[in-house]
Amino acid sequence: MTSLASGESVFTIVLSHGPLTRAQIAGRTGLSAAAVTKAVRPLMAAGYLVEGPGEGSRALGRPATLVRVDAGAAFFVGVKVTGDEIIAVLTDLCCRVRAAARLPLTGRAPERVLPVLTELVRELLTEADGFGVAVRGLGIAVSGDVDVDSAEGMVRYSPFLEWREVPLAGIAGTATGLPVTVENDVRALTVAEQWFGAGVGLDSFALVTVGAGIGCGLVVHGRVVSGAHGVAGELGHVSIDPDGPPCYCGNRGCVEAVAADPAIVRAVREVTGRPVTTPAEALELARAGDRGARQVYAAAGQAIGRAIGSVVNLLGPERVVISGEGLAAYDLFADGIRDAFAAAAFGTAAQCDVVTRPLPFEEWARGAAATAIQSFIGSATSATPVTSKEQSGVHQ
């Protein structure tokens, strides 16, 4: 492990669990005391980590020295782009939201989205000026296939935005003057949940989002998984019925073709003959007791439950968190999810903790800010390799 990776690991541990003593950091990361010191040193020199005596340790004699993140040392902007609007937040280094703003979109083409995004970022830069803290990075979360290893932050394909090969980080960086990190929106939200939400302290968990699409973020051995080609976790395009409805990806019976909002609206319209055009209208019809509409939601729940069962069988996460705007209809498909999951999960995999967690889009934007913080801390950490003796751990 290089000190670059060690620095990111140490920062994340202190951010999520701190303040901590250096010994506690070593215990949580598996690094030796020497490796912790080497990882902490550049972050302290830059002012991002600070230390001081902890409270409540007087009875032990010498007060423990705790390391913590200095929240006010830097600010960041996080942006979530949907098909209809852009939501942006200003956060501190602890990823606490200091200000938020949103603006509607008049179109989904990049030339329509970028001016709105730039306007929101400038508004939050003005807010940061009021705090007297510099903004060090911009994180942008979009749906679809994002090449996180591309220098241009390339959005390979975003079906909801109808984007292909858009070098978003390069364009946004030129427009805003900030270092830009671009990430898939579900993976960005997964980072936020790992740091501050339902995934804190877990070695492995999955975040399944239900709404305009069906997404899945995966954490394995404490790290968010993006895969070799950046498309790990595409749960929405797992085919559960080869004879099912067609999906825009070209296959049939994908989870997204059954359980995403557009699929539900389309199916409710077909089975009821009503001119339903929005998820809210479909939901209202089902809640009014329409049998056909309720059957559509039940089928959606079964599709989601089977998909979650597949994730649990393959990866064995400690927890599955269900979130997304589609949770507004959770009461209608909860039984379907539970029954299908129980049938699909193999053996003790059925003991996986499955929870729901409604999250507003500001939390998705906060996740985008978290990815910007990750990039920033990575660049702020020395790349000098840690020796094999230093990384051997404290339990020797």
- 170-218 residue pLDDT tens: 999 999 999 999 999 999 999 999 988 899 989 999 999 999 999 999 9
pTM across the whole model: 0.88
Listed residue (205, 195, 197, 166) closest to 81, CA to CA: 166
pLDDT value, residue 60:
53
Per-residue pLDDT at 385 exceeds 50: no
Least confidently predicted of 100-114, 138-152, 166-180: 138-152
Show Cβ contacts of residue 96 under 8 Å, excluding neighbours closer than 6 positions. 71
How many alpha carbons fall within 13 Å on the CB side of residue 273? 0
Mean pLDDT of the region 135-161:
90
Least confidently predicted of 8-12, 58-62, 112-116: 58-62
Per-residue pLDDT at 335 exceeds 90: yes
- 45-67 residue pLDDT tens: 989 999 886 554 454 556 678 99
Least confidently predicted of 57-61, 89-93, 102-106, 370-374: 57-61
Percent of the chain whose pLDDT exceeds 90: 72
pLDDT value, residue 149:
78
73-190+361-377: CATH class: alpha beta
Beta bridge partners of 2: 385
CA distances from 255 to 83, 213, 259, 301, 365 (A): 20, 9, 6, 10, 25
Residue pair 237/256 in contact (Cβ under 8 Å)? The answer is yes
Stretch(es) of the chain classified as CATH 3.30.420.40: 73-190+361-377, 200-356
pLDDT value, residue 389:
40
pLDDT value, residue 55:
52
Per-residue pLDDT at 382 exceeds 90: no
pLDDT value, residue 152:
83
Confidence band of 6 (pLDDT split at 50, 70, 90): confident
Q: What is the CATH number of domain 200-356?
A: 3.30.420.40
pLDDT value, residue 348:
87
In CATH, the architecture of 3-70+386-392 is Orthogonal Bundle (1.10)
Mean pLDDT of the region 358-378:
93
Mean pLDDT of the chain: 89
Task: Tell me which of 6 and 74 has the higher pLDDT.
Answer: 74
Residue pair 247/260 in contact (Cβ under 8 Å)? The answer is no
Stretch(es) of the chain classified as CATH 1.10.10.10: 3-70+386-392
Q: Assign 3-class secondary structure to the chain.
A: CEHHHHHHHHHHHHHHHCCECHHHHHHHHCCCHHHHHHHHHHHHHCCCEEEEECCCCHHHCCCCEEEEECHHHCEEEEEEECCCEEEEEEEECCCCEEEEEEEECCCCCHHHHHHHHHHHHHHHHHHHHHHCCCEEEEEEEECCEEECCCCCCEEEEECCCCEEEEEHHHHHHHHHCCCEEEEEHHHHHHHHHHHHCCCCCCCCEEEEEECCCEEEEEEECCEECCCCCCCCCCHHHCECCCCCCECCCCCECEHHHHHCHHHHHHHHHHHHCCCCCCHHHHHHHHHCCCHHHHHHHHHHHHHHHHHHHHHHHHHCCCEEEEECHHHHHHHHHHHHHHHHHHHHCCHHHHHCEEEECCCCHHHHHHHHHHHHHHHHHHHHCCCCECCCCHHHCCCC
Per-residue pLDDT at 287 exceeds 90: yes
Task: Tell me which of 376 and 2 has the higher pLDDT.
Answer: 376
Residue pair 301/334 in contact (Cβ under 8 Å)? The answer is yes
